[in-house]
Chains A and B, each alone.
Chain A
Amino acid sequence: MKTTIYKFFCAVLIVVGLCACEDQLDIEKHGSMNFDTYYQTDQEAESAVAAIYFQHRDIEFFYTLLKNLFSDDFWAGGGGRNDNPDLEAMNEFTFDTNNSYIEELFTSYYQIIYKANVVLAYVQPDSPVKQQMIAEAKVFRAWSYFELISLWGNPPVVDHPLDPSEYERTNGTDEELWGLVERDLTEAIESGHLTSKSSLNDDSNYRVTREYAYALLGKAYLWQKKYDQAAQAFEKVIGSGLYDLYQGEYNKILTSDNENGVESLFESNRIVDLDNIWDNSRFYMVMLNWRMDNFISVPSAYGLYNVGYGYCPPRKSLYEAFVAEEGVDGYRLNQSIKTFEQMTADGVAVNASLYTEGYFDWKLRYEAKDALDWGCCNNNQRWMRYAEVLLCAAEAYARTGNNAKVKEYMDKIRQRARVTTKDSYTLADVKTEKRLELFGECVRYQDLLRWDDDNDGTGALTMLANQGSQYPMMATNGSVSYRSANTEGKYGFKTRHQHLPYPFKEVSQNPSISQNPGWE
């Protein structure tokens, strides 16, 4: 009887064990919030916009390398031929639709657009803060579309977070695309909720401002050949009195000594925070910095960080363009580029051949004092300088015949650069000035694309036609030899390059998109 009771008891235990509890499976996710109830408060709106700033800052690596290497100002460089085949292919126009930089940049613009679309779709304009956030999101969306249009032509319009049924987008028309850019910027400006600097010397505003929106609007008009409207937009910036050319040493323009200075329209901010150094990853600076391990001695007065990969060394043709304008002793030239000859005089020597013609970027350099760690640099990335606004305005006026304004703005630039002013300036002068003043600042390539329409030999079809025929190697004694880089006829800028190809990844997944001509 006792045994039976035991057996019964055990059986009951096991039957209870059979009924496990399903509600134990409802384990909630840590560290996230519910989509449906977010985007209500001011703070949530600010947080959503901070995500755009973060994403935008992140685009630097692909953005800068792509624009440098597509221009006629730089070689691919690096540790030697084949060190980075993608970069060489871009510099020599032998890339195809699978190039990772093109794909990454294209995707990155749409990631910014997505985050802006999220703000515009879910944040209600029911408080001043939210209205400001909405206006800022529009500025970022417009900037991204300006970039996409100028590089790819007719990319798809995505103006709201897409439902899966909407994934296969067709190409946007010029009207839709430029309409979106102009509308976003105009609405942002007219909302009255964008901030501005409080004064010329206010260096505390790291947000996109009303003036920056005007500058972008001006560039959008310039690109569309609406020169009068462009000039008007640029005048809004110039007339604000909140910006001026930096009058300190020219080579300090882009260094951390001069962050958010009088000349900056917009910078991505980076701060010194040793506990979060990887927030300041600027790998581009390491890519760009000289090939330091091949230098036997670099004077400490140069102040350079001791690690660099030597990508994007300036071309001799750029140096010669400087010389033509301001001579070998030109102030701006010597503050922008160092020659191997000058460096040798300073005691620099190299122990290996370098992929360069003997010219080294000095304007944008990786200073040891900014290096938090390998690849982490707290110097801010400049997205637009006042000099660009003046030169864009000068171009618009040159095209509409307002020579007085051209002279006013060109003189300003040249006086600061310590180059003699001229009595009057042609459009060609403006173009040259823009190349020299903004060298390495990611405007040259889009200008070359735009200037093809002028049929005056200043556009990409002429300037980039021969890129890729050969590449230079500088021996340790500074002598430069050239080697064939590609099979004859399979390099250089051709008609199809006037637009970048839509990435293979997009075209292969999206049957609705039409590939650009020549890339099908």
Chain B
Amino acid sequence: MTMVMALTISLSAMAQALQLKLNNVTVKKAMTELHQKSGYSFVYEGSDLNIDKTINVDAATLNQAIEQILSGQDVKYEIKNKNIVVSKTTAKAPAQNAKRKVMGRVTDPTGEAVIGASVIEKGTSNGVITDFDGNFTITVDSDSKLQFSYIGYQTVEQDAKASMNITLQEDKQVLDEVVVVGYGVQKKSSVTGAIASVKSEDLENRTASNALQALQGKTAGVNISSSGAAPGSSSTVRIRGIGSNGDCPPLYVVDGRIASDINGIDPNDIESIEVLKDAASAAIYGAQAGNGVILVTTKKGKGKGTITYNLQLASQSVAKTPKVMNSEQYIDYYTEKGNFSMEDVYRNWDFKTNTDWNDVAFENSMMQRHNITFSGAGERGSFYVSGSYLSDDGIVKGNKDKYQRFTGMINANYKVKDWIEVGVNTQIEYYKASFVSEYNNSGIYGNMFLGVLQLDPLTRPLYGADELPQNMKTILRGYQAGRNGELLGDRNGNYYGISSFSSSDNLNPLLLRDKGINQRRGHGINGMAYLNLTPTEGLVITSRLGYALTSYETYGVDFDYYANAQAFQNFVKVSGSNGSPASYQWENFINYTRDFGQHNVNVMLGTSFSESRTFGLDGSYRGTDGDLGFQQDNPLYWYFAYATGNAIKELSGGEAIFTRKNSYFGRASWNYADKYYAQFSLRADAADLSVLPKPKRWGYFPAVSGGWVISEEKFMQGTASWLTHLKLRASWGQNGSTASLGDYAYLSSIASVGNYPFSNDRSYTIGNAPTSTGNEELKWETSEQIDLGVDARFLRNRLTFSVDYFKKKTKDLIVSGITPSTVVGNTASPINAGNIENSGFEFELGWQDNIGDFRYGIRANLATLKNKVTYLHPSLTEGINGTSFPGYATITKFEIGQPAWYFYGYEYTGVDKNTGDPTFADRDGNGSIGDNDKTYIGKSIPDFTYGITLTASYKGFDAIVFGSGSQGNDIFSCLNREDYAINKLIHFTEDRWSASNPNGHNPRAAANEMSKYAVSSANVFDGSYFKIKQIQLGYTLPKKAAKYVLMDNVRAYVSLEDFFTFSSYVGFDPETTTIDMGSYPTSKKVVFGLNVTF
């Protein structure tokens, strides 16, 4: 009531008639005039008002006069008695001037209300936010403009009217997205290199525990693979092919911090991943960037405070089970081969057992993850806090293959002063994993998945104590007599079946699962604290400290057991290790941006110093023969403290290893009228002595790039109706790689080769010898790359297209372990001994449109790749040997004129119709088959890889279908061994030659030359595949309904992941296989998920 009274009084005062007309007077003079005419005095603080400003006044009422005197100044006034009290305003006083009330509704193109859109009176801070129905009410100056904005939509600006219904269009201005580059950000429109950007929507709601897995197939030229799909396993990333004979991982940079991997970041916490594919973009990271750079940007708080919760539940099962022989086929094959007779079968088989080891080994298992985030932002700062929990019990029966991870993220920044901003990005991780034996950790011997494929079907998974076959009885008797060579079982009185027919290492999968414990756990606190100074406009000085404080531990137990001569252990071995790698990185750089007319210039200069330190201990205790090594054969005793006095202990580590790097870098960018772009960068990197000799320590890595937006040119105006944007890009640069260096490889020094006892006492003379021949000329591997690209958008931005061509040459490849000649007698130090070339085209195509409420989009990418070794040191004319098929021969080679690590072996030419023996191409024509006849028989590098994502939505429903594939890659299957009576893929045994089947297409059982057959093209398969990786169907509750459950947004979805694979490969999974030696197979998943926002 008081308010209303006061208003009335002042309104009457303001309406008071008064004539005042003044020209070119100061505010102060006008105030004096008004006082004299009306008796009203101005009361104000000196700093609030500019009284020397020159004004004109032409007023008919008191309030008009006051308004005109104060116009253009950021003040409000109040009339109290005869005083006009003037004060500074932050929000313009309402109901002054001619105010109007505006009401309206904001909707999206589908007519759905946009909740939380901001409606702002232009040029003021006066604003409101739309409510749950998209409605808003705001009072504004009558002649003002209103701005309507919402994240992801184009901002709309309209003159204020009493009633406004606004439809926001989705922001398709992808060109104005910000793209993260090294030491800065750029508008996508100004990018002159080849940078792929994957946004959070492609990472969210997938089952991948590691964001890299979610990247696969989403962008061209980035190939993500893994050599096994065990829970928590990491991926191998190859950007634009294979750039080295050694390891060629990309460089990971998380919010500016150089990281060794990104496994500890929940994909839900990632805002975007940028892949710097071309040399010029990556060159700002110099010596570490030769294999491309992956920049990860984590989420920051935005807008009003929100809480989100995401839930995901997945049921997993083995995706594909290869076909192996059943009992009848197995007996048939091996009696034919002569490994055992029918008598042996009668003696050791019960005439009914026909075990399918897939059923024994695998089960349906659950994965669950929870993710909760709290975020928000104000004018001066923002915060983002999240926590997640992931638990993945893999598809192997039981929980020996389980991965659990907790992650947290704390990102915050605050503008302490107008010119100082501080912030932290912190990722916290804790994980624990237990795993079973597979190729990655056990090789091909004692590998559980080879057990599944190779153990005969005549053996049962479990035998009761009273039904043991002869071989198991013998073992049990031996154990009972000597407590040595235990028969393992399920601890319910049943024993794991051991084959009577085959004594290979690849045993009963249950036994392989349970003959040991393998656990790993660790934590990490990684992040970056930064300070941005803006001493003057356009200049930003950044100082930032990155840190990675990590710790890991492993615990393993190998039990005593006996299966056969290949597979047994007479002692218990407990091993443990822990370590605490820590690193820091301090970087200082300045960015200066300035416009000179149409010219825009940015210069960046900086320095970086990093150090990493590892310290760890690795030890084990185990028994001697006849002494288990631990006081009791009991899990409660399986710790170092309870080892027996005789136990053998081993200990290693305890040595702090440092590596350090020192770098300087700079970049200059220029553009003219957003039409012409050019950029130059240079980085100088110095490695420490463990990497390179001092004179070769420094490497310099330059790059240039340019862009031309043709569509901005006048002569292109005619095409504007259909061609919205067309840009040409070109870049060139050099980068380095040190992945193959380290540990003083270049240095010849004197070190111990072993100890020799010259008496029977326990005393030794240390044998010292030169470690290697030494190579003081060693230098970095350097890659040089050109990239030509075109970006285009058509038809009102609905169609986007880009294509890149690249040619990347890596020279001075570091070759280790070579013997320049076998008579030198010492290991040669690594030398720079080769060149390799990768080239290819990358296409990205997108289409987005809507038909009424139905909105849909397609994104597709395709990358071709040609890889060739172009030079090797003359001492390596026969190439470098790679992987071996254990027991047989080398099957991959790195050789001039061939793709890296191509498959090398005999060319299988079919079965000899007379003998049933395999035959091979006699390439040297000398009448016999020998090493000279070995040749190229395949390659693991695909001709092209592709991915396609389809999205659609209608009202509350949405759908995603995503598939990816590769074409032209081969798989070398090492599943067909000739030693032992192992089970085999039917592919190798069906329709085999025999006297009665002389046209059989497989060699007879017991054929000659089978050791050549094992390393021939008969084992090389087409590894091309297409996999539908995701089919997701979601439903979002209408906003009103969500409101009733007190939530802003609720979406539920179901998804099928890795469900359909199209491939002709006969083994487990072509996606995780290049050389098949039994890796953890991919599972298919049925997923239920929920996304809730409060």
Contact = CB atoms under 8 A, between A and B. Distances in A.
Given A30-B655, A352-B344, A111 B588 contact: no
Contacts of B928: 490
B995 to A, nearest CB: 15
Interface in A91-132: 96-98, 103, 106-107, 110-115, 117-118
Interface string B671-693: 00000000000000011111000
Nearest to A158: B823
A106 B758 contact: no
B654 to A, nearest CB: 11
Interface string B746-760: 011111111111111
A57 B757 CA distance: 11
Given A3-B419, A271-B762, A509-B876, A371 B824 contact: no
Contact of A83 (B690, B751, B979): B979
Interface stretch (A181-189, A288-296, A412-420): A288-296
A107 B1008 contact: no
B568 A307 contact: yes
Q: Which of A14, A83, A353 is the most central at the interface, judged by chain B CB atoms within 10 Å of its CB?
A: A14
Contacts of A293: 503, 564-566
A294 B769 contact: no
Contacts of B353: none
A114 B825 contact: yes
B822 interface: yes
B753 A35 contact: no
Contact of A204 (B566, B590, B759, B822): B759
A80 B768 CA distance: 41
Contact of B609 (A20, A35, A274): A20
Interface residues of B, number: 108
Contacts of B980: 79-80, 83
A402 interface: no
B817 interface: no
Given A20-B609, A24-B660, A118 B749 contact: no
Contacts of B78: none
B887 A279 contact: no
Interface string B632-668: 0000000000000010111000010011111000000
A155 interface: yes
B831 to A, nearest CB: 9
B770 interface: yes
B54 interface: no
Nearest to A15: B588
Contacts of B571: 373
A18 interface: yes
B624 A38 contact: no
B184 interface: no
Given A275-B648, A509-B875, A44 B768 contact: yes
B878 interface: yes
Given A307-B565, A373-B625, A117 B825 contact: yes
Contacts of B470: 296, 351
Contact of B765 (A46, A115, A509): A46
A167 interface: yes
B978 interface: yes
Contacts of A53: 756, 758, 767
Interface string B539-579: 00101000000000000000000001110111100000000
A407 B420 CA distance: 104
A241 interface: no
A368 B625 contact: yes
B90 interface: no
A98 B1012 CA distance: 13
A487 interface: yes
Interface in A268-299: 269-271, 273-277, 279, 291-294, 296-297
Interface in A25-57: 25-35, 38, 44, 46-48, 50-55, 57
B150 to A, nearest CB: 37
Contacts of A14: 533, 541, 543, 588, 590
B619 to A, nearest CB: 12
Interface stretch (A434-442, A449-457, A500-508): A500-508
Q: Which of B648, B980, B1009 is the most central at the interface, judged by chain A CB atoms within 10 Å of its CB?
A: B648
B773 interface: yes
B694 interface: yes
A248 interface: no
B169 interface: no
A277 B697 CA distance: 41
B625 A33 contact: no
Contacts, number: 292
Nearest to B542: A14
B169 to A, nearest CB: 43
A508 B822 CA distance: 10
B689 A17 contact: no
B20 to A, nearest CB: 42
B877 interface: yes
Given A7-B533, A504-B931, A373 B624 contact: yes
A484 interface: yes
B474 interface: yes
Contact of B339 (A80, A117, A155, A487): A80
B750 A111 contact: no
B625 A29 contact: no
B979 A33 contact: no
Nearest to A85: B1011
B757 A7 contact: no
A27 B979 contact: no
Interface string A480-520: 00011111001000000000000111101110000000000
A483 B756 contact: no
Interface string A61-85: 0000000000000000011111111
B1062 interface: no
A54 B820 contact: no
B978 A50 contact: no
Contacts of B660: 24-25, 27
B39 interface: no
A10 interface: yes
A425 interface: no
Nearest to B341: A475
A32 B749 contact: yes
B823 A156 contact: yes
A292 B565 contact: yes
A47 B1008 contact: no
Given A20-B662, A25-B660, A293-B565, A275 B757 contact: no
Contacts of B658: 27
Contact of A277 (B648, B753, B774, B1009): B648
Contacts of B655: 30
Interface string B923-966: 00000101100000000000000000000000000000000000
A286 B694 CA distance: 48
B688 A27 contact: yes
Q: Which of A80, A309, A475 is the most central at the interface, judged by chain B CB atoms within 10 Å of its CB?
A: A80
Interface string B874-897: 011110000000011100000000
29 contacts: A3-B419, A10-B533, A11-B533, A20-B609, A22-B662, A27-B659, A27-B660, A35-B750, A48-B768, A50-B766, A51-B754, A81-B978, A81-B1006, A107-B819, A111-B825, A111-B826, A113-B825, A158-B824, A168-B821, A270-B757, A271-B757, A271-B762, A372-B625, A473-B338, A476-B344, A483-B338, A487-B917, A509-B876, A510-B821
Interface of B: 338-341, 344, 417, 419-420, 470-471, 474, 485, 500, 503, 531, 533, 535, 541, 543, 564-566, 568-571, 586, 588, 590, 606-609, 611, 624-625, 646, 648-650, 655, 658-662, 686-690, 694, 697, 744, 747-762, 764-771, 773-774, 819-826, 875-878, 887-889, 915, 917, 928, 930-931, 978-980, 1006, 1008-1011
For the complex of A and B, the 5 pairs showing the least CB-CB separation, nearest first, are A114-B825, A51-B767, A85-B1011, A293-B565, A82-B978
Given A27-B688, A115-B769, A207-B758, 6 more contacts: A24-B660, A112-B825, A118-B770, A206-B758, A351-B471, A483-B1006
